[in-house]
Chain A
Amino acid sequence: MIEEIFSNILIYFVVIPVLMLAGLALCKNIKQIRAVALVGSIALMALSVYVLVDYLQLRAAGETAQMLYTDSWQWFGPLNIHLAVGVDGISIAMLLLSAIILFTGTFASWKIDPMPKEFFLWLILLSTGVFGFFISIDLFTMFMFYEVALIPMYLLIGVWGSGKKNYSAMKLTLMLMGGSAFLMLGLIGIYYHSAPEGGQLTWNLVEISQNNAIDRDWQYFLFPMTFVGFGVLGAMFPFHTWSPDGHASAPTAVSMLHAGVLMKLGGYGCFRVAIYLMPEAANDLAWIFLILTGISVVYGAFSACVQTDLKYINAYSSVSHCGLVLFAILMLNTTAMTGAIMQMLSHGLMTALFFALIGMIYGRTHTRDIREMGGLMKIMPFLAVCYVIAGMASLGLPGLSGFVAEMTIFVGSFQHTDMFHRVFTIVACCSIVITAVYILRVVGKLLFGPVQDEHHLQLTDATWWERFSTVSLIICVAAIGCFPGFFSDLISFTFSENIFKVLGIN
């Protein structure tokens, strides 16, 4: 049994973080801690790249199964709970994203203080949950990992945060837990309706989707449950308010991981559970959530226009961008969904870049209020240039990741012929202008113009680890922006026939 488990490559996505935890427990000084975190995250990155390459080869060799590397081991018989793993293109993209962000996050928290060991312990525990979530195909195990990813956030913000950290940490945790409550209900409901003809009940989402097991009436109840449950984490209006406060208080690496990866858990969950298992309800109820997410997109962008705290601006921008993810998922066609996943990747990378940069700027100026800063381009050109690039990615400059993702979404969404979808697509399109407004507002105030504070003239530019972290993120952002075909092929293969056969749409 044990050997069997360890012969599956995916399980190492969980094993490596656990080993890292053990290693960290033994560490005595900051150097060892860094070494462990670095080695572990590099190993995870190497692993995800390997899985990506191997996956592509398998696909090229004609492998047509929906999920690859599937395996399943029972761990609680009476409820038929399994540790079931398997990945498709989307999960692999997400795994890669998580590994990259963990890696850069490690660099971003190079000088974390106080209690570096504990900080990394919680951070790694969080990523264990994230990786576990993305490789699971058993709903229960998935939910378990989901919770593992959420809980450390409380401590990470509450202990290492800044500002109103207790309030924010509590708010974030409670709101996400509230979402989890919906989710748990939804998942249990799915379990009890997973075998309509009285067969063995199952948590395995591949089996459920293949049998198209859940009957329609129940779908109407369970779909909103799961969608809202995951939607809270995906910052869906009106359940997004944890995001600005949470991000503003969180330490740099946590903001990066949270906005970069954790919010993607929401989108991924909405797609993989809510829509995947209950396509009919998704098709019928999509309009409600389209309205909500459509509001998210524009509303988040408008809110960002008047904020003065850098982190609030980005948190609201995340609301807008993540809203676009859910919006596109609900369009229920291949192009828009491909766009949604690309937007997840793109948003993950660029928002991590943003938060890393904000952390670095905050670490120097000790303020995040844009009114108190100015002319940073002159003082710290490297960081400023990176910020401009991140901004350009965010407002959708071609050649960087934001553009391809947004365009895929818009073109996909516009394939609907009815007025409702089109009007909402156009509303969502408007966000590109508003995004430009708030990004340029920040760039203009923060980076350009005269220096506001004489003391800032003494500040230094980025250190090598900061450079490393930002440059690697920029390279990833540019890679998606320049070679989107690769990613869209990786993702869109997964959509072929499997989900849409039920609906008879594509």
Chain B
Amino acid sequence: MDQTIPLLILALPLCMFLVLGLAGHKMSHKMAGILGTLGMGTALVLAYTTAFTYFFGGNFVDEAGNRLQHIVFNYDWLAFTENLIIRLGFLLDPISAMMLVVITTISFMVHLYSLGYMHGEKGFQRYYAFLSLFSFSMLGLVVATNIFQMYIFWELVGASSFLLIGFYYTKPSAVSASKKAFIVTRFADLGFLIGILILSFYSNTFDFVTMTQAPGNVLASTGGAVFMGGSVLTWALVLIFMGGMGKSAMMPLHIWLPDAMEGPTPVSALIHAATMVVAGVFLVARMFPVYLVEEVALEIVTWVGALTALYAAIVACTQVDIKRVLAFSTISQIAFMVVSLGVARPELHEGVGYMASMFHLFTHAMFKALLFLGAGALIHAVHSNDFTSMGGLRKHMPITHITFLIGCLAIAGIYPFAGFFSKDEILVAAYSNSMMWGIWMTAVAGLTAFYMFRLYYRIFWWNNPDYSKHHHTPHDAPWTMTLPLIILAAVSCVAGFIPFGELVTWNREAYEIHLNYPIAITSVVVALCAIGLATIMYRKENSLPDKVADKVKGLWTAAYHRFYFDELYLFITHKIIFNLVSRPIAWFDRQIIDGTMDMFAEVTNKASEAIKGLQSGRVQSYVLVYLLGALLVGVVTVICMVL
């Protein structure tokens, strides 16, 4: 494939970032916004072209009909040793092509949406610059040809996420949220880095293609080395997954994501719902053949995912901030993907879990972005994040209402919306692995439907508060904001019918999706029951929710406080790291280490003070001493001569 288009896909957002970052303050808002959107639009067209050429061009299939991994270009960037070389390249394969489509689509929608949403904000140009930087980094991440390139862009997306969360930098909560996001993910990246170090040492390459084509070699080269009860490879893979846990907000490293909602809502849609947070899933998918070698690592992945999915779903049922609900729902849905990868085995339905995970990633990106953008429109209209100050909005904002409903139906997994198909495949994979995971995930899917419709009813039904005391009654947003909603809603309706199995599978062989009716029907029934329950509880204003909350008071309060994870982290960082490590070290440094140095000086001073009287400056006393000395010498001499 020609290099120009892939290169442009990466170069365009980067150029936009540089142009808007350096010259943005000289431009008008409109100019900057349109420039950024156009740049992203062009990248979108190019990415679609690339993906289309890859999937349907026919050139990237081998004789057996399997899709190929194609390295479009791969430049040496920094050579550590002969084999360990960081290259910057462009790897085209099913998942990267799919991700190109996802990222550019959502990013373009968000660019467009932000024209309206961020209208008149101070730092509008800066906002677009950061969006471009993020798009560049994310695109670079998904097309990485080697694990170190991925790490580089991994860090860059982290930084751009930091910048965007902290966009309202005068707001202390936004600043601390951005700090938290960066530090928590940095901590996870430490694991990722160490994992890379271990893995690359044994495999002697950073290259994904080399690593994944013969994953057994990696295991062989470790020579069965064991560290603290686990094989070295397990450790490496778990540590690498730790990086993924940080970015994808898996428990217990999820705490940054709900706080990250301090950023502008379109940013939440782009980064913290659709693209960056699935980087962890993407990472595991990318390394999947290597993970298959060490099934223990996959077991751990499954457990982490399953626990997170349940945890986040429970917490989402109790939150009142609509963005927080969506954030926990995101965590839960990503956990679905993680579980799906964790339970995937080649021998179980030809590794359907892998395909399902990627499928869900794709559909989730669409409907979650839709939900977030819808939430943005609501916040834009009501000027509040809490659904307690909303209600009955279906009459005021019909377009938002319909699109939001579609999003909710999609995420709840109702036929024929996108979520149904992908979730069904995940459940198939889970049941095929073990009954426990199947039931577990079905239950979580039910919870999903419940909390989403709780949210939906609270926003659009419940009661009809008096909006007249607002500046204006809530109404639908301008077209720049509604158009993305409509497009995404349309995509959410039809995305399920994409023959995903033919495009993306773990070994790049085509796989035919067929609905597993028992599982599909079960899950739809569960979802419908949950929706029914939500309808009973939240359709009209009533006291039932409070009664239920009172019944399970302990659980409810704990969930409302997100099971005290934040408090735990605060305790660890402030009480332990700051007060028990940093401060004593600083004290030790000042008092003991520096004190010792000062003591040397002090001793010298004291000593000189003590003998300084001898240098009185009085010649007379010198003479006296001299004389006595001379006498002494004389006497001694005489005595010696006599003796």
Contacts and interface: CB of A to CB of B under 8 A. Distances in A.
Main secondary structure of the interface of B (DSSP, over half): helix
Interface in B58-113: 76-81, 84, 86
B581 A302 contact: yes
Interface in A220-249: 237-238, 240-242, 245
Nearest to A339: B80
Contacts of B198: 414
Nearest to B77: A485
B144 to A, nearest CB: 12
A404 interface: yes
Interface residues of B, number: 48
Given A377-B169, A415-B201, A429-B193, A403 B152 contact: yes
Nearest to A437: B183
A303 B586 contact: yes
B186 A436 contact: yes
A412 interface: yes
Interface stretch (A2-10, A130-138, A444-452): A444-452
A440 B183 contact: yes
Interface string A431-467: 0110011001100100111100000000000000000
Interface string A331-352: 0001100000000000000000
B182 interface: yes
Contact of A175 (B152, B166, B597): B597
A177 B635 CA distance: 45
A175 B597 CA distance: 8
Given A305-B582, A448-B175, A436 B182 contact: yes
A408 B78 contact: yes
A324 B166 CA distance: 30
A307 B583 CA distance: 9
A485 B79 contact: yes
A65 interface: no
A237 B76 CA distance: 37
Given A238-B593, A378-B170, A403-B152, A303 B585 contact: yes
Interface stretch (B5-13, B38-46, B153-161, B338-346): B153-161
Contacts of B571: none
Interface in B153-204: 153, 155-156, 159, 166, 169-170, 172, 175-176, 178-179, 182-183, 186-187, 189-190, 193-194, 197-198, 200-201
Contacts of A305: 577-578, 582, 586
B84 A403 contact: no
Main secondary structure of the interface of A (DSSP, over half): helix
Interface string A282-309: 0000000000000000010011011100
A447 B170 CA distance: 9
A449 B170 contact: yes
Contacts of B187: 433
A403 B583 contact: no
Contacts of A17: none
A432 B193 contact: yes
A488 B383 CA distance: 53
A158 to B, nearest CB: 16
Contacts of B190: 429-430, 432-433
B182 to A, nearest CB: 6
Contacts of B183: 433, 436-437, 440
Residue among B80, B178, B585 facing the most chain A CB atoms (10 A cut-off):
B80
Nearest to A425: B197
B80 A408 contact: yes
B80 A302 contact: no
Contact of B585 (A238, A302, A412): A302
A306 B582 contact: yes
Contacts of A448: 166, 169-170, 175
Interface stretch (A24-32, A89-97, A117-125, A392-400): A392-400
Contacts of A193: none
B162 to A, nearest CB: 8
Residue among B77, B179, B598 facing the most chain A CB atoms (10 A cut-off):
B179
A174 B601 contact: yes
A422 to B, nearest CB: 9
A488 B601 contact: no
A426 interface: yes
B589 interface: yes
Given A302-B581, A397-B156, A410-B197, 8 more contacts: A299-B585, A335-B81, A395-B186, A411-B81, A415-B201, A425-B197, A429-B190, A444-B176
16 contacts: A171-B598, A241-B594, A299-B585, A306-B583, A307-B586, A335-B81, A377-B169, A398-B155, A411-B84, A412-B80, A429-B194, A436-B186, A437-B183, A440-B182, A449-B170, A485-B78
Interface of B: 76-81, 84, 86, 148, 152-153, 155-156, 159, 166, 169-170, 172, 175-176, 178-179, 182-183, 186-187, 189-190, 193-194, 197-198, 200-201, 577-578, 581-583, 585-586, 589, 593-594, 596-598, 601
Interface of A: 170-171, 174-175, 237-238, 240-242, 245, 299, 302-303, 305-307, 334-335, 375, 377-378, 392, 395-399, 403-404, 407-408, 410-412, 414-415, 425-426, 429-430, 432-433, 436-437, 440-441, 444, 447-450, 484-485, 488
